[in-house]
Chains A and B, each alone.
Chain A
């Protein structure tokens, strides 16, 4: 089996397992617009990182002055966008996080924030791996057709 075919096979396998986890992305995959998934996911990364920074700041203040309404609104946004791309684990932690906000439970909030950061980091690694594999495949195809 030549290198390109092998890479293609690996990419297909990786993509399909990833799409089982990120179950929203599959329906966006479109031959006529292959960049679309990359665009959306990149946007999600930017959005999530911004929100995680803001959440860290919101929770770093004196416990008595934490604005739980603001924290909740930020988590709501993150929950929404992670749900939209199918990052289910991040979404689940967001739900727990919102419950802690409602209870004004600072410890719970801080714990949730840690968990989200970990889950998000996993998501990012997996999706970046996908994009890297795609790039390598296209490069390999390109060098053969030359």
Chain B
């Protein structure tokens, strides 16, 4: 049918620091988000249903598990930039390269204010870049991004409800 259920938004938080994971989880829960927190990019991809596929002479790549995707409904991914093995930027790229995951909004966090880093992430498709320590006011900025992606999920017969003003004006003109 396609009607979005009246459930909470589900945010996947990725950070190798336990303290920062606790903090971001707290901030997200205060905003009434349902939260899953993991400590690495590879665990995040696993949770999202991407598994590592060994290719003979190349870097391991991630492919979608066929049946898994529909079980995990993640509406937004928020990840730390500086992580061992897989940085937040690497994770962002892998998500944007994946057909099944590329529409999930991704937010990057970093304790370091490096303009070139910020630009690179935004160019790669990150919705926002938060400087740590993340504040409640930053987390409050997430809702519009989540609503945007929820709208995409809604089925065809519901599209009428989601027309924006421009479309309505065109129809009425």
Residue positions of A touching B, CB distance < 8 A: 24, 27-28, 30, 33, 36, 39-40, 43-44, 47, 76-77, 79-81, 83-86
Interface of B: prevailing SS? helix
Bound together, the chains give a CA A36 to CA B28 distance in angstroms of 14
CB distance from B136 to the nearest CB of A (A): 5
Contact B22–A80 (Cβ < 8 Å): no
Contacts of B168 in A (CB 8 A): none
Interface of A: prevailing SS? helix
Cross-chain pairs A/B with CB under 8 angstroms, 24 sampled: A24-B133, A27-B27, A27-B135, A28-B23, A28-B26, A30-B30, A33-B26, A36-B26, A39-B22, A40-B22, A40-B23, A43-B18, A44-B19, A47-B18, A47-B19, A76-B82, A77-B17, A80-B17, A80-B19, A80-B20, A80-B111, A83-B111, A83-B133, A86-B133
Partner of B133 from the list A33, A44, A84 (CB cut-off 8 Å) is: A84
Contact B132–A80 (Cβ < 8 Å): yes
Instruction: Digitize B111-123: 1 where CB-to-A-CB distance is under 8 Å, 0 elsewhere.
Output: 1000000000000
Contacts of A84 in B (CB 8 A): 17, 19-20, 23, 132-133
Query: With contacts A28-B26, A39-B22 known, is A81 near B135, CB below 8 A?
Result: no
CB distance from B131 to the nearest CB of A (A): 10
Contacts of A44 in B (CB 8 A): 19
Among A30, A44, A81, A86: residue with most chain B CB under 10 A? A81
